Amino acid sequence: MLRAFAMFAIALLIWVSPAAARDDARTILFIGNSFTQGAGSAVLRYRADSVEDLNEEGVGGVPALFATFAEQAGLRWKVSHELRGGSTLGFHLRERRAVIDAPWDVVVMQQYSVLDPERPGDPTETAHDAPALAAMFTRANPSVDVYLMATWSRADQVYREGGHWYRRPLAAMALDLRAAMDAIQAASPDIDGVIPVGEGWNRAIAHGIADPDPYDGRAFGKIDLWSHDQYHASAAGSYLEALIVFGYVTGIDPRTLGPDERAARDLGIATPVATALQQIAAEQLGRG
């Protein structure tokens, strides 16, 4: 009887309930807007039940892609997001503080696509709001890793008259956003890195995988990283975004997800395209 009791006790120690596994998981919070929601494609509602939507709007988005990648990599992450379309980081700081002020392990912050809706390209507000948010997260958990995401060039801002980057090279907008984020990170002791999503898009275009101009028709054999409005991401664009975020945060080579990666299959992204985008993400993260 004593032997049976001992075996039962060992089994209890070995067995971990789903709730306990979640409690043991690392936590990550995504804050941002439609660029992280995956608006404009099937990514918006993708596996919404796999993440905690703090706004209770049934959004899966890039956070759900991250969660799917983590599951396949054998990692335990509890993924949460607080996302609102059209919002700046200032909105989350002022209006959603009570919801997001908690001791997260990792936070990924995504600013409005042109930095300031009223003054495109102006980093002034970002330079205030991003460090303020990072300081808040650091007070809640001094060991938190806080990252800024540098997003992509909007085709409508480059190719359409009136766009802030009109007639400049397509890559310029993403590079300008990255430079702004780098300067903000350098000035803040609480921001730990900049995730180079926009440069990953530039790389996919430069390598001939993605079409550079959605307004003149898509070239044969190339994918469109933009959605129908030429500024949000397509499913493939969000997939590349999520691969770069996942690789940056976890340190795992995105190529290890492999040609049978689940999210690509679920979203109808062809295997050769998924493999090519994994390669682009790896190269952008210095694992080429």
Q: Three-state SS for 113?
A: coil
In a domain, 246, yes or no: yes
Amino acid 23: pLDDT: 62
The residues, ordered by sequence, that sit 6+ positions from 247 with a Cβ below 8 Å of its Cβ are 253, 254, 281, 282, 285, 287
Amino acid 13: pLDDT: 38
The residues, ordered by sequence, that sit 6+ positions from 21 with a Cβ below 8 Å of its Cβ are 76
Q: Based on the structure, what is the number of domains in the chain?
A: 1
Measured between alpha carbons, how far is 187 from 277 in angstroms, rounded to an integer?
32
Closest CA to 121 of 163, 82, 58: 163
Amino acid 47: pLDDT: 98
In a domain, 5, yes or no: no
Strand partners, 148: 109, 194
In a domain, 14, yes or no: no
Measured between alpha carbons, how far is 95 from 10 in angstroms, rounded to an integer?
48
**What DSSP string describes 201-266?**
HHHHHHTTSB-S-GGG-PPTT-B--B-TTSSSB-HHHHHHHHHHHHHHHH---GGGG-TT-HHHHH
Measured between alpha carbons, how far is 249 from 26 in angstroms, rounded to an integer?
12
Compute the C-alpha angle 54/57/61, nearest 5°: 85
pLDDT by residue, tens only, the chain of 288 residues = 444 444 444 344 333 334 344 468 999 999 999 999 999 999 999 999 999 999 999 999 999 999 999 999 999 999 999 999 999 999 999 999 999 999 999 999 999 999 999 999 999 999 999 999 999 999 999 999 999 999 999 999 999 999 999 999 999 999 999 999 999 999 999 999 999 999 999 999 999 999 999 999 999 999 999 999 999 999 999 999 999 999 999 999 999 999 999 999 999 999 999 999 999 999 999 997
Predicted structure pTM score: 0.92
The residue segments making up the domain with residue 274 are: 23-284
DSSP E strands in 89-163: the ranges are: 106-110, 145-150
In a domain, 17, yes or no: no
Please say whether the beta carbons of 81 and 27 come within 8 A.
no
DSSP E strands in the chain: the ranges are: 26-32, 52-53, 77-83, 106-110, 145-150, 193-196
Amino acid 220: pLDDT: 93
Other Cβ atoms within 10 Å of 67 Cβ, number: 25
In a domain, 178, yes or no: yes
In a domain, 6, yes or no: no
Amino acid 288: pLDDT: 73
Residue 200's CATH number: 3.40.50.1110
What are the C-alpha distances in Å from 176 to residues 56, 183, 198? 34, 11, 10
In a domain, 1, yes or no: no
Closest CA to 280 of 213, 215, 212, 209: 209
